[in-house]
Amino acid sequence: MLGLDPDPARLWPSAAESALGATVAAKAADAVERHCCALIDSAGQSCVAIKPQLACFERLGSAGREALQSVVLHARAAGLIVLADGKRGDIDVSAASYCQSLVGSTKTPYGSVDGLGADAFTVNPYLGIDTLDVFADGARAVGAGIFVLVRTSNPGAADLQDLQLADGGTLCERVASIVDRLAGDGELSDVGAVVGATEPGHLARMRELMPRSIFLLPGVGAQGGTVEQLAPAFEPGKAAGLVSASRSIVFASEELGGDPADAAHRAAESLRETAWGLS
């Protein structure tokens, strides 16, 4: 899975130099869009999905949202799944509004307004099961899915997620059990889990608690995780793990040399082969 976290100050030169726009925001958003589309063109064929980081687009205002929309359309035209990474968490009508924004549509007196058109999005469990129910139901109603943050890839993840609970287990294990209940019966579920690749020691336990959930595995590459350690995630089958990499692909030319697009293609292909070999 190709992570898209575009920093307007660090785009591929071909995108930055050809950008057009009447305002600073429009020009920066155009550069971001060109960069992401070029990245999809070069590395997309080695991936099953893109994962745009919503914050990176939101910071460019309405022009950023237009760019995000164009990138989503470009990815879908290339046959890629789109996973909107916004880590949303909110209550009742607000959670439903995020579903409308990311995977659904909004009814208005003037007609319906389409949302982003993503296939799935990431959500935060801190607000409780009633909020996860709204996200899961809202996504399911339009054939989309959610990925719940269970054990994240950052160093501070342990602060809360690894706390021991008085009645046994850790907080992230409790969240894993909640995710498994939401996942329901059947084989792979539309309720997935975010499990960081930086702490592979957690993976086997997480797979035990969530046998039917697709795992989104961030943290490979720049954050220090390696694909070789991720085998437990793939136990239910090839489709059970989505290995996400961003910086190690987009900036591959800094290590591998050559043109950024060629290097991104080679890095993505190498990651694909390694992940496929595990499963």
- Min. distance of Cβ 251 from its own copies in angstroms? 13
| Out of 4, 46, 52, 53, the residue judged to bind its own copies by CB under 8 A | 53
| Out of 14, 41, 48, 66, the residue judged to bind its own copies by CB under 8 A | 66
- Annotated catalytic residue 87: yes
Q: Decide: is 245 part of the binding site for its own copies (CB under 8 A).
A: no
Alpha-carbon separation of residue 253 from 77, 157, 250, 267, 274 (angstroms): 26, 31, 8, 9, 19
29-48: which residues touch its own copies (CB under 8 A)? 31
The stretch near its own copies (CB under 8 A) out of 93-101, 179-187, 203-211, 224-232 is 93-101
* Of residues 44 and 86, the one with the C-beta less far from its own copies: 86
Q: Decide: is 279 part of the binding site for its own copies (CB under 8 A).
A: no
Alpha-carbon separation of residue 258 from 222, 254, 265, 267 (angstroms): 19, 8, 11, 12
256 sits in which H/E element:
helix 253-256
In 3D space, the residue among 248, 190, 183 whose CA is nearest the CA of residue 211 turns out to be 183
* Of residues 104 and 145, the one with the C-beta less far from its own copies: 104
Helix (H, G, I), strand (E, B) or coil at 108: strand
Helix (H, G, I), strand (E, B) or coil at 148: strand
Q: Decide: is 5 part of the binding site for its own copies (CB under 8 A).
A: yes
Q: Decide: is 93 part of the binding site for its own copies (CB under 8 A).
A: yes
The stretch near its own copies (CB under 8 A) out of 33-41, 64-72, 180-188, 226-234 is 64-72
Backbone angles phi, psi at 196, to 5 degrees: -60, 140
Q: Measure CA 254 to chain center.
A: 24
Residues contacting 124, CB < 8 A, separation 6+:
87, 88, 89, 148, 149
* Of residues 133 and 187, the one with the C-beta less far from its own copies: 133
The stretch near its own copies (CB under 8 A) out of 22-30, 179-187, 230-238, 262-270 is 22-30
For residues 59-86, one letter each, b for 16 or more C-beta atoms within 10 angstroms of the residue's C-beta and e for the rest, the string is ebeebbebbbbbbbebbeeeebbbbbbb
- Min. distance of Cβ 46 from its own copies in angstroms? 24
The stretch near its own copies (CB under 8 A) out of 90-98, 135-143, 230-238, 251-259 is 90-98
Q: Decide: is 111 part of the binding site for its own copies (CB under 8 A).
A: yes
Residue from 51, 87, 107, 238 carrying the catalytic annotation: 87
How many Å apart are CA 28 and CA 142, to the nearest integer? 33
Q: Decide: is 124 part of the binding site for its own copies (CB under 8 A).
A: yes
- Min. distance of Cβ 211 from its own copies in angstroms? 22
Bridge partners for 122 per DSSP: 147
- Mask: binding to its own copies, 166-185, rule CB under 8 A, as x and -? xx---x--xx--x-------
Size of the site for its own copies (CB under 8 A): 76
Residue positions annotated with a catalytic role = 87
